[in-house]
Structure 1
Amino acid sequence: MSDFEEEREANIARNRALLAQLDITLDIPKKPAPKEKKPKAKPVQPAKKRVKREAAEAALPTRTSTRLRRSAPDPNETPEKKRKREQEEELLRQKLEQEKLEAEERAREAKKPRHDDIEMYAHLEDQEAKEVMALTASLQVTTKTVNARRIGDMKSYQYDEERHDAAVKELKEKLGGMKIVSRAKITKERIYSAAYHPEKTKDLVFFGDKHGALGIWDARAPSEETDEDGDVTTQDDGEGGKSWRIQLHWPNSSRSSISSIKFDPIDAHSVYTSSYDGTIRTTSFVSAISTELYHDENALPTTIDLPPHGHEMWIADSNGGVTHLDLRQDKSKARWYQLSEDKIGCLSVNPVETHFLLTTSNSRVLRIWDARKLQSISVKGKGPYEINSEQLSAFQGTKDGKNVMRGEWRHGKSVTAGYWDPHGRRIVSTSYDDTIRIWDIKPEVMKKDAEFPSMRPTHQFHHNCQTGKWVTMLRAQWNPNPDVYPHFTLGNMDRSLDIRSHKGELIAKLADKGKITAVQAVTCSHPSILERAATGNASGRCVLWAPADAE
């Protein structure tokens, strides 16, 4: 021991002897042992699949030294042999240069959006036969039934306060008991969009991620695991389900984020996706082929929506415009209208009065447009048909264009989303000013060819919408089921899922701190079953909320 330690031990011995002489004993309580912290339950990781991966070919040829490639010249070589050697070296140099140019061209092409038809299973992440068969089986179930989009009646659910309170109480009893019955990592990147398929026999949810991949989740399908002998065993534990990833949009980067997902409103046998690569694609579950419907390399499509008849599509973009696309005509006949000087982040078509368009933008304004008047603007030439803001302003000054914009409401900050409810009379908007606003527009007001007398929100409440850079923007989404009392879902920054009535009352606040460790930013609800909701977060992990017996 050191001198200091020896002196310390001697002091301790003297003090103990002194206390013993004075017959003094000290009852010094021992320091309690620290309590063991119970580890939080981590999200269940899906079983890793044993996939045989072939060695990837190098994008560019390996560089080698010219000095090493060139053989040492023979000092005794003849002029003819020297000329022959130099010719061979020149041919080799040209060949390597050509290979380099071809590789660079392939790399450039790989970074461009795809415009040709894509075979869906060829771009499945795991292309083993059993995975292809499992996905085929799940999608074929949806094609056996016509799941047309259903719409409500504008005059339905107009209750007095007593009946409203009773309906909200009933919803609280049914939705308040939902819990996590399945969870899995569906995509590798952040979830940007989601849509719940209307098939009643399955919980089939589609998620679009930041890098252009479409995740398909059969949330309650029995999961599969591989035992030590390599045999596949089924483990029906209610966790994980079955999922697949398909690279629909290209390149595999943030330039291809899937901004919106919609099912065909006629039969739901195909899915429409919009991406920041500038393309709109439709993928058929019957033919397993993905086809490009529209492409604009100068604008990023932010939202798509279709009326229930399914013959046309409206597309909002980052240049402040909306495009009308008739799906029965060639895409060259599309019309573009500049409705804002800033990005239009969301567009919604009224499902009942389909000529009413709702747009929200970074200009902090929510607006309602009459599409019939927009389409009456005369255009010259054979296309493309574009109506800029100056032409639109001039048209609004005419008699025919007087009421092309029916109403608007200015928010405190950018309006991230705004949607019509399935009954076509209520609107919910989400904004960075941390306020959720709800409108209830009377049907008789919509019937008149005049501006709405008032656009003051009927209800509003505070909600934290400051998602920041790494969390997808929050969007209040109506439950698309027209047979239930109107309500909507909304992600909460405290990592819960909020469900609220069309008057803003909190119906349910679903959370599980042991299983959820991230903000459930993206939400969607089943169009036919009341007690079903799905959420996704920034890591690509998704959750299915349902009654406990559904597990």
Structure 2
Amino acid sequence: MGEPKRRSAAPGEEPGKGLSAYELERLENIRQNQAFLSSLKLFQQSSARRQKPAVVKEVVPSRRSLRLQNKQAEVLTLPPEPRETEVVKQVKPPGPLPMEPVNMAEGSELPPQFLQLCSEVKTPNRVEISQGVELDLKEYCSLLKKMRISEDQVAKVVKERIFSAAFHPASTSLLMAAGDKYGKVGIWSGGDWGDDGVLLFEPHTRPVGCLAFSKAHPAQLLSLSYDGSLRCMDVEKGAFDDVYGIEDGLKTFDFLSHDCATLVVGDWYGNVAIVDRRTPGTSHESLHSLDPKVVRCVSVHPLQQQYVAVAESREVSIYDARCLKKTRSQPVSQLQGHSLSISSCYFSPCTGNRVLTSCMDNYVRCSLINFFFFHLSVRRHDMRTGRWLSKLSAVWDPKQEDCLLVGSMSRPRRVQVFHESGRLLHIFKDNEHLSTVLSVTAFHPTRNAILGGNASGRLHVFSD
């Protein structure tokens, strides 16, 4: 049976009368819900939204490739290059230049003590050194341990990062030179002249990549710069003479004769030039293209000076300077084994039968030459200096044929001496006076002393 129909309220009859309790409860729920919805005013908001004008969306035509339309692409023009007045250019200073220290009053004369020290009687040359008697390793290490550093053996010699440094051969006093990032050359001896014993000159405009005192004429300091100039600071003349020059990009040089009159010069473009200082002008005698990239270092054999070692990218080639051609010169021999760029290569200073190489692959190699075949001894060494430090390069001790010096990235900061076999002989360190990386290092040619140059222009000296 179906559910009986329920009677709705008659007109005039009270609402809900005759409804069941369930229906009355349902009606009450509906009433409460309507009251709640009315309180939210939803219907008013919906009506207001309907009264707002509709936003008209702009119809953008679809993009079509110019290639599909068989049309030429639009040619865009680049903005104009900056005018020359807006670009700061470094211009090489004309030469010869007077030796006027930039850290002294204008018109100041060079100190007499400086002139006397630079002109000191020359020390034995490479041939004379090679005939001397070397110390055994026990005596040698004993001398190294006696070398110390003190407060007066640290000085700011140049204003910026040191790229090169060298000892003057004088033996009575320590005289040093350093070249920095912006072409300045500082001379320091600890004397009472200049600025705390420093004479600062400005012969170049870009990094001074190589410095060397003439062994035949101690009063002459040759300096090479990335700005393309090679100059000779002649203390007796009081001037920086022009020796050789190109537009830019000189990298390295070495003396090609015992009288230091002839040079071999390498540049950033893979060329080496033979330069004779006795020839008038600043040009080369001959120019030879060796490597399409860069010549990073050249080194002349100390006894047979016709042989030149050249660091070319990842290998070292040994050439006979008498047989060099304009292009495609054939090396006498080649040293291979490094996997990255070689930063330096040097013949050993006495006999020249060893070649020392430093490389960005974190290896220092000492190669023994026997009829121009190489037998390698290798030592791993952290060479990752980054962009703010000069590259580390191992250098020979000119007084000891089989020992070398190199800076270090290790802490506490230090400089290390190794035997050619890779054995560590001594560590130079001092917590009070040495707290930075000494990238550029050198041994004194006759005295028991070493120097190290850092990125702030300071030289540190250890001596007995």
TM-score normalized with structure 2 length: 0.75
Q: Match of 2:176?
A: 205
Tell me if 1:137 matches 2:86: no
Q: Match of 1:508?
A: 426
Q: Match of 1:472?
A: 390
> Sequence identity of aligned pairs in percent?
26
Report the CA distance between 1:351 and its aligned residue. Answer: 1.1
Tell me if 1:185 matches 2:185: no
- Structure 1 residue runs without a partner (length 5+): 1-103, 159-165, 225-239, 251-255, 378-386, 397-403, 446-451
Report the CA distance between 1:487 and its aligned residue. Answer: 1.5
Report the CA distance between 1:241 and its aligned residue. Answer: 5.7
Q: What is the distance in 2 between the residues matched to 1:155 and 1:503?
A: 23
Q: Secondary structure at the match of 1:440?
A: strand
Mark the CA change 1:279 to 1:489 in structure 2 (over 3 Å): closer, same or farther: same
Mark the CA change 1:155 to 1:206 in structure 2 (over 3 Å): closer, same or farther: closer
> What root-mean-square deviation, in Å, do the aligned CA atoms of Structure 1 and Structure 2 show?
2.5
Q: What is the distance in 1 between the residues matched to 2:322 and 2:130?
A: 20
The residue type equivalent to 1:359 in the other structure is: V
Q: Match of 1:388?
A: 327
Alignment of 1:54-69 (within 5 A): none
The residue type equivalent to 2:291 in the other structure is: S
Q: Match of 1:90?
A: none
- Structure 2 residue runs without a partner (length 5+): 1-83
Q: Is residue 321–residue 339 contact of structure 1 (8 Å, CA) maintained in 2?
A: yes
Alignment of 1:148-227 (within 5 A): 149-151=125-127, 167-181=136-150, 182-219=153-190, 221=191
Report the CA distance between 1:222 and its aligned residue. Answer: 5.3
Mark the CA change 1:263 to 1:155 in structure 2 (over 3 Å): closer, same or farther: closer
Q: Match of 2:249?
A: 300
Mark the CA change 1:416 to 1:138 in structure 2 (over 3 Å): closer, same or farther: same
The residue type equivalent to 2:173 in the other structure is: K
Q: What is the distance in 2 between the residues matched to 1:412 and 1:285?
A: 43
The residue type equivalent to 2:432 in the other structure is: G
The residue type equivalent to 1:291 in the other structure is: D
Report the CA distance between 1:308 and its aligned residue. Answer: 2.1
Q: Is residue 120–residue 170 contact of structure 2 (8 Å, CA) maintained in 1?
A: no
Q: Is residue 120–residue 218 contact of structure 2 (8 Å, CA) maintained in 1?
A: no
Q: What is the distance in 2 between the residues matched to 1:119 and 1:509?
A: 41
Q: Secondary structure at the match of 1:180?
A: coil
From the CA coordinates, give the structure whose radius of gyration is larger: 2
Q: Secondary structure at the match of 1:175?
A: helix
Q: What is the distance in 2 between the residues matched to 1:139 and 1:273?
A: 18
Mark the CA change 1:191 to 1:344 in structure 2 (over 3 Å): closer, same or farther: same
Q: Match of 2:321?
A: 371
Q: What is the distance in 2 between the residues matched to 1:115 and 1:319?
A: 23
The residue type equivalent to 2:288 in the other structure is: Y
Q: Is residue 151–residue 422 contact of structure 1 (8 Å, CA) maintained in 2?
A: no
Greater RCO (CA < 8 Å, at least 6 residues apart): 1
> Which of the numbers 309, 325, 347 marks the counterpart of 1:358?
309
Q: Is residue 519–residue 537 contact of structure 1 (8 Å, CA) maintained in 2?
A: yes
Alignment of 1:441-460 (within 5 A): 441-442=369-370, 445=371, 452=372, 454-457=373-376, 459-460=377-378
* TM-superposition CA deviations, 1:268-304 (whole Å, max 9, x none): 121111001101101101011111111111x411111
The residue type equivalent to 1:536 in the other structure is: G
Q: Match of 2:408?
A: 492
**Structure richer in helix, relative to its length:** 1
Q: Match of 2:263?
A: 313
Q: Is residue 162–residue 440 contact of structure 2 (8 Å, CA) maintained in 1?
A: yes
Q: What is the distance in 2 between the residues matched to 1:152 and 1:419?
A: 19
Mark the CA change 1:154 to 1:270 in structure 2 (over 3 Å): closer, same or farther: closer
Q: What is the distance in 2 between the residues matched to 1:138 and 1:486?
A: 33
Report the CA distance between 1:109 and its aligned residue. Answer: 11
Q: What is the distance in 2 between the residues matched to 1:367 and 1:154?
A: 24
> Which of the numbers 433, 441, 446 marks the counterpart of 1:528?
446
Q: Aligned pairs, how many?
A: 374
Q: Secondary structure at the match of 1:486?
A: strand
